[in-house]
Amino acid sequence: MEKVADNTVTRDVIKLSEPTGNIYESVVVMAKRANQIAADLKRELSDKLQEFTQTTAADTLEETFENNEQIEISRYYERLPKPTLTAIKEFQNGEFYWRKVEE
């Protein structure tokens, strides 16, 4: 799998508009995909952190260990590429399907 750029990259607007025929439609498609990716990541992170919210009578050493685990999980998700960058890469590589709803 191709690595997603984690910094600013100049993009060719003409190439981005080719799949849809319109740059604005391309932007909408990429934005909707980015929202899907962000929602999936948020759900995944919430599920992982939910495991730590169970109230139990644990001593402070166990709580500290769990807190470190939570921090590591959060740091992992912070280092992931932004959903918009992932959506742009997927769009350019044709890795997802979209369709235009006709009236």
Residue 64: domain span: 13-92
pTM flag (> 0.75)? yes
Does the residue 36 lie in any domain? yes
Confidence band, pLDDT 50/70/90 cuts, at residue 70:
confident
Q: Which pLDDT tens digit goes with each residue over 41-68?
A: 999 998 888 877 665 545 555 566 667 8
More confident position, 38 or 58: 38
Count of structural domains within the chain: 1
d(CA 3, CA 11): 16
Does the residue 101 lie in any domain? no
Does the residue 2 lie in any domain? no
Does the residue 26 lie in any domain? yes
Q: Write down the pLDDT at residue 36.
A: 96
Share of residues in the chain with pLDDT > 90 (%): 47
Q: Which pLDDT tens digit goes with each residue over 4-22?
A: 776 678 889 999 999 999 9
d(CA 47, CA 19): 35
Confidence band, pLDDT 50/70/90 cuts, at residue 102:
confident
Does the residue 50 lie in any domain? yes
Does the residue 63 lie in any domain? yes
d(CA 70, CA 1): 28
Does the residue 5 lie in any domain? no
Does the residue 31 lie in any domain? yes
